[in-house]
């Protein structure tokens, strides 16, 4: 994970220090081999949190996880990694000789942790220790609600270019206009746009007690990877584990205020970030944004199916770019087709939250950093109606709050 702060100190790492440490970790993993195969090919998840490194590994048969953990600890300790956590999955034993059945992976994960002062466990008896307790991957039902956030809503689409981010920022502002306390988390790590759309592209978040203080964007608490980069043209060229790690750091290491809604702008697709969010962030529900175009509908269906499989309720569908009215002759035309949003909503028995026009004014307002709801222009009412429809049914999907938590 690309780390923005060290857990042992309040001083932030510079981008150069971050890059150097990440590069050192990558080189060690690429160079460490198990049976002439780099362990990097066996990594299914990687997260760096300051001096701690967490690895999800799929190891080959007959490998010794304890020895691997010790050796990696020795190799990484010179680069500032003092703690290694390993979540290991090993192949199951063969069913019997001569069996032609493929070997199956167990459904549970062996979680092993080592946290000696040097980062290496030198206890030789570990080689004969019993296997650690196994546990299944977390599910939405097992995730406790955030102690300061009542509802977390993700706004997603199966593909890019459907106006998802524009819809997200206006829905968030509309929920705020209805009297709610609202925050925005930009989970689009590779293409962050929230800072620009909210007119706070040049504002950097402060650090307080090793946590980010969200940027105040028109009264909303906002945080984005874009708020931490040096410029609008800085690319985020990270592999999946670093991107998902960055998302979790933005969520967990931010001092979110008391919120009625945290609206998360998701990247397009159904990849690593979506799956990480489904397993680690307690989501109340998802809003699917699509256009009426057939190709967009195909990808929107994939998005709905993914949320269904991860037990995240779909709050409804927003059909964007439904109609276009010519500014010269006032002729209205369905450029991208008709009925797409209604079709998806009917197919999956979820509400059609609203239909938005294809209008240059909506685009112009977010480019200026003053979205339609904030500008109170002719399109603001569309988003207010969508926000009202969300509020109508949101409570029945609310996550149970752990009242015993004191932080």
Give the model confidence (pLDDT) of 193-218 as tens digits: 999 999 999 899 998 888 899 999 99
Distance of CA 139 to the CA centre of its chain: 15
Task: Encode pLDDT of 42-64 as tens digits.
Answer: 888 888 887 888 888 888 877 88
Q: Which two tokens stand for residue 289?
A: 């944004």
pLDDT at residue number 64 = 84
Distance separating alpha carbons of residues 331 and 343, to the nearest angstrom: 25
pLDDT at residue number 167 = 96
Phi first, then psi, for residue 389 (nearest 5°) are: -65, -35
Phi first, then psi, for residue 53 (nearest 5°) are: -125, 130
Distance separating alpha carbons of residues 213 and 233, to the nearest angstrom: 24
pLDDT at residue number 137 = 63
Q: Nearest CA to 286 among 108, 101, 154?
A: 154
pLDDT at residue number 400 = 63
pLDDT at residue number 183 = 97
pLDDT at residue number 115 = 39
Q: Which runs of E-coded beta strand occur in 115-190?
A: 134-135, 149-156, 182-186
Distance separating alpha carbons of residues 368 and 189, to the nearest angstrom: 22
Query: Which parts of the chain register pLDDT below 70?
Result: 1-13, 90-137, 230-237, 399-407
Task: Return the number of other C-beta atoms located less than 10 Å from residue 195's C-beta.
Answer: 26
Give the contacts of 88 (CB within 8 A, at least 6 positions apart): 57, 59, 65, 109, 110, 111, 112
Q: Nearest CA to 253 among 288, 214, 219, 218?
A: 214
pTM above 0.85, yes or no: no
- Report the length, in residues, of the chain: 407
Find out whether 191 and 161 touch, Cβ atoms under 8 Å: no
Q: Which two tokens stand for residue 298?
A: 């195909």
Distance separating alpha carbons of residues 333 and 144, to the nearest angstrom: 47
pLDDT at residue number 98 = 36
What sign does the CA torsion over 374, 380, 381, 387 have? negative
Distance separating alpha carbons of residues 318 and 155, to the nearest angstrom: 10
Distance of CA 355 to the CA centre of its chain: 26
């Amino acid at each position: 994970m690309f780390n923005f702060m060290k857990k042992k100190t309040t001083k932030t790492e510079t981008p150069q220090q971050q890059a150097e440490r990440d590069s050192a970790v990558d080189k060690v993993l690429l160079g460490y081999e198990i049976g002439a195969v780099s362990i990097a090919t066996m990594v299914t998840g990687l997260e760096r949190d300051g001096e701690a490194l967490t690895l999800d590994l799929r190891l080959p048969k007959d490998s010794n996880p304890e020895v691997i953990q010790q050796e990696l600890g020795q190799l990484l300790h010179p680069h500032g990694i003092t703690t290694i956590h390993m979540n290991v999955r090993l192949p199951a034993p063969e069913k019997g000789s001569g069996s032609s059945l493929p070997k199956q992976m167990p459904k549970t994960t062996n979680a092993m942790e080592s946290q000696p002062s040097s980062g290496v466990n030198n206890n030789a008896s570990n080689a004969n220790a019993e296997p650690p307790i196994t546990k299944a991957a977390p599910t939405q039902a097992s995730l406790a609600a955030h102690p300061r956030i009542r509802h977390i809503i993700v706004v997603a689409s199966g593909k890019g270019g459907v106006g998802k981010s524009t819809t997200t920022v206006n829905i968030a502002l509309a929920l705020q206009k209805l009297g709610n306390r609202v925050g925005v988390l930009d989970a689009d790590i590779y293409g962050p746009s929230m800072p620009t759309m909210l007119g706070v592209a040049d504002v950097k978040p402060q650090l307080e007690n090793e946590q980010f203080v969200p940027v105040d964007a028109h009264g909303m608490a906002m945080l984005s990877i874009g708020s931490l980069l040096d410029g609008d043209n800085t690319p985020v060229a990270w592999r999946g584990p670093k991107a998902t790690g960055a998302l979790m750091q933005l969520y967990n290491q931010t001092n979110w205020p008391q919120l009625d809604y945290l609206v998360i702008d998701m990247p397009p697709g159904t990849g690593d970030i979506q799956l990480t969010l489904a397993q680690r962030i307690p989501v109340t529900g998802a809003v699917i944004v699509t256009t009426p175009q057939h190709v967009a509908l195909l990808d929107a269906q994939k998005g709905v199916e993914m949320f269904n499989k991860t037990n995240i309720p779909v709050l409804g569908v927003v059909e964007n770019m439904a109609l276009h009215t010519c500014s010269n002759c006032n002729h209205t035309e369905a450029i991208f087709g008709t009925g797409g949003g209604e079709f998806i909503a009917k197919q999956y028995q979820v509400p059609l939250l609203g239909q938005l026009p294809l209008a240059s004014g909506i685009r112009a307002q977010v480019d200026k950093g003053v979205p339609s709801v904030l500008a109170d222009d002719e399109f603001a009412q569309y988003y207010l109606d969508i926000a009202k429809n969300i509020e109508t049914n949101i409570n029945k999907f609310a996550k149970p709050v752990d009242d015993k938590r004191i932080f």
